[in-house]
Amino acid sequence: MLVIKSFRLHTLPAALIPIVSAWLIGPVQQINTTFFFVLSCLVASFIQISTNIFNDLLDFDRGLDTHREDRNISSSKKTRSEARVWALIFLFLSFILGMNFVKLHWIYFPVGIISLYLSYGYTGGRFPLAYNGLGEVFSFVFFGLVIVLGSYFSMYNQIDSKSIVLSFLCGMHSSLLMMFNNFRDFKTDSLGRKNTLAVKVGEKNFVGLIKLNLLLMNFTFCLFIDSFFLRGIYVLFHFSLFFYMKIDLNHKKRVEVFKFSILSYILFLILVVSSIL
């Protein structure tokens, strides 16, 4: 089915790695830890998928990504209607499942409602975040602070210093994914008047922001992990990215560095697992 392409299942690690990491670093598991771990994974995945669908639909309406074969769900009214239905189904499932979190604390309700809206509001509405230079901020807050701290509290009924540091790390990794994505699409976004942060500040300044994010990630990871060996692996990988980043990279190399940002997040999870073995 054509509409399944709009689910972009390959993006789910951005939603799942923070939750898996939060689960791994927690204290002794409680009675409901496994239940809320699975629930967190489902809700985060459903919101991610609905966001991807709306993103494809709304970007196409603005004349963006029409050249990409993996973003052609808007090619007919039938597929557009199917995509909208699936997006609403995933949002509805997220709401129903998310009500289990509200039983733990009232704060989950407003945070959940905002998260559900932003699955559409990321690229839609009167003030789409992606079109106003706030994509990276959204990634940091939602895929870092909200997902990590929200899932950690539901599983362990507490928020400690390690979970806070983890939320910042995951947020910076998610922002890095968004940064490399926008760096890759800089030319098409500029032509399509998609005012991402990269378009707003210009390529030179944006590359500087990417490098700053990489430095902050290295510093924060060293606070998070005690092992000097694991620190060395992480820092070496990201300093390689740091020195590779240049303004004059062609599109092919920009696609490559985007893939490296995905590998960066996978490496992070592997190192977290290694740290607790």
Helices (H), 62-134: 77-102, 108-121
Tokens of 102: 């509200």
Task: Work out the pLDDT band at 30, boundaries 50, 70, 90.
Answer: confident
pLDDT score of 196 more than 80 = yes
Lowest mean per-residue pLDDT among 125-134, 160-169, 170-179, 213-222? 125-134
Q: Which of 11-20, 39-48, 64-73, 106-115 has the lowest mean pLDDT?
A: 64-73
| Residue 69: per-residue pLDDT | 55
pLDDT for 2: 65
Q: Are 182 and 198 in contact (CB under 8 A)?
A: yes
Q: What pLDDT, on the 0 to 100 scale, is given for residue 132?
A: 92
Nearest to 174 by CA among 8, 12, 5, 1: 12
What pTM was estimated for this model as a whole? Answer: 0.92
- In this structure, which amino acid lies at residue 224? F
| Reported confidence tier of residue 85, pLDDT bands at 50, 70, 90 | very high
Split into its structural domains, the chain has a count of 1
Q: What was the pLDDT predicted at 81?
A: 84
Candidate from 100-109, 210-219, 254-263 with smallest mean pLDDT: 254-263
Mean pLDDT of 27-37: 86
- How far is the C-alpha of 195 from the C-alpha of 118, rounded, in Å? 18
**pLDDT at res. 138:** 95
Which range of residues forms the domain containing residue 178? 2-276
Rounded to 5°, the CA angle 40-136-12 comes to 35
The mean-pLDDT minimum among 24-38, 75-89, 222-236 falls in 75-89
Mean pLDDT of the chain: 90
Q: So what's the pLDDT on residue 39? A: 97
C-beta of residue 95 within 8 angstroms of C-beta of residue 112: yes
Beta partners for residue 132, in sequence order: 195
Asked whether residue 70 carries a pLDDT value surpassing 80, the answer given is no
142-190 pLDDT, tens digit each: 999 999 999 999 999 999 999 999 999 999 999 999 999 999 989 888 8
Helix spans in the chain (H): 13-25, 33-61, 77-102, 108-121, 135-140, 150-156, 161-184, 186-191, 197-201, 203-224, 228-244, 251-276
Question: What share of the chain has pLDDT > 70, as a percent?
Answer: 94
